[in-house]
Amino acid sequence: MVEPGLTTRLRQHSRRSGMMVGFSMLVTILILIAGFIWIYVRMGPLLSDFIPSQAAAGAASPVSQVSAAATPGNATPQAAGQAATQPTAVPQTPTPVWQATHRVAPGGASSGPNIYFRSGPSTASTPLTALPPGTELKFLGKTQPEGGVTWMQFERQDGLIGWIRNVDVVAIQA
């Protein structure tokens, strides 16, 4: 003989148990996703030289910015009675010819198609662009050890300045 209230209580108990199992599965999945994201964010800068990205490969060189004082429309009005002064011509000195001293190594240490040209001497620094093997660079004389490798500061022929690891470049023989 089965008690009529017992069946109802058992159904309610099984529903609650099912809801708790579903809720704990949802919490577990959220914890796993958060853990993956945390690991990905922490490991991204360390692996960014090994994983080529479309954004870095297609990144444009920085746009030169004109100072606000030199833009038309920002000229300060002359006070009454002041004569406008003409700037004196400064003799132009010939600019030195840009000459490459290094070349991006084929494959580099990352054995990938491109090497990141970074804003600072670290893999955590923002990539300015990705340089294909053979890109010629001019060494600017600055080096900095970071993370077990030495970083070197270079200038591209278009004037973009950035940092590359010494293992990713080879000196050009003069």
How far apart are alpha carbons 143 and 75 in whole angstroms?
Answer: 41
Q: Model pTM greater than 0.75? A: no
Instruction: Answer with the residue of higher pLDDT: 74 or 153.
Output: 153
The 10s digit of each residue's pLDDT in 6-19 is: 888 888 889 999 99
The 10s digit of each residue's pLDDT in 148-162 is: 889 999 999 888 999
Pick the CATH number of 53-59+98-174 from 2.60.40.420, 2.40.50.140, 2.30.30.40, 3.30.499.10: 2.30.30.40
The 10s digit of each residue's pLDDT in 56-67 is: 444 444 443 344
How far apart are alpha carbons 130 and 37 in whole angstroms?
Answer: 25
